[in-house]
């Protein structure tokens, strides 16, 4: 089925930027969407952004404008550019991959995905 490897997390001050990367191996035939989720301590995992192989994107409305999801031309690496970071963005960020039969709100649901990375910590200080 393949696996996902995230990188790029770290600690930044409010207003700073980070770029997360997610490398997908052996997933080409079993996915059409890659996504980013995040989970803060004591909270549920929430969808951040998702991208289809054809380049279509979807975002959590509250993050659109600050976060941008993209992918390499070979479609095996997805990125999450995070700008104007706020302390409330502090969380573990997870990459996900899956084969979704529909687009829209489904892409923001963790149960739509069957492949997950190990997570990368993002900490934003005020």
pLDDT of residue 64: 85
pLDDT digits (tens, 9 = 90+) for 9-19: 999 999 999 99
The count of C-alpha atoms lying within 13 angstroms of the C-alpha of 60, restricted to the half-sphere facing its C-beta, is 17
Residue 80's pLDDT is 98
Which residues of the chain are under the pLDDT cut of 50? none
Residue 64 sits at the vertex; the CA angle it makes with 14 and 110, to the nearest 5 degrees, is: 100
C-alpha dist (Å) from residue 8 to 102, 114, 120: 29, 22, 7
| Residue 29 confidence (pLDDT) | 58
Residue 27: what pLDDT? Answer: 59
Report the mean per-residue pLDDT for the chain: 93
Are 79 and 22 contacting, i.e. CB atoms less than 8 angstroms apart? yes
Q: Which residue has the tokens 């035939």?
A: 29
- pLDDT in the model for residue 1: 55
């Amino acid at each position: 089925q393949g696996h996902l490897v995230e990188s790029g997390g770290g600690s930044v001050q409010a207003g700073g930027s980070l770029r997360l990367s997610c490398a997908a191996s052996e997933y080409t035939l079993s996915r059409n969407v890659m996504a980013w989720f995040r989970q803060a301590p004591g909270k549920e995992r929430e969808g951040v952004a998702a991208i289809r192989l054809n380049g279509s994107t979807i975002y959590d409305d509250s993050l659109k404008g600050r976060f941008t999801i993209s992918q390499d031309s070979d479609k095996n690496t997805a990125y999450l550019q995070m700008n104007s970071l706020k302390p409330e963005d502090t969380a573990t960020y997870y990459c996900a991959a899956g084969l979704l039969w529909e687009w829209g709100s489904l892409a923001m649901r963790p149960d739509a995905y069957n492949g997950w990375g190990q997570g990368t910590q993002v900490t934003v200080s005020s």
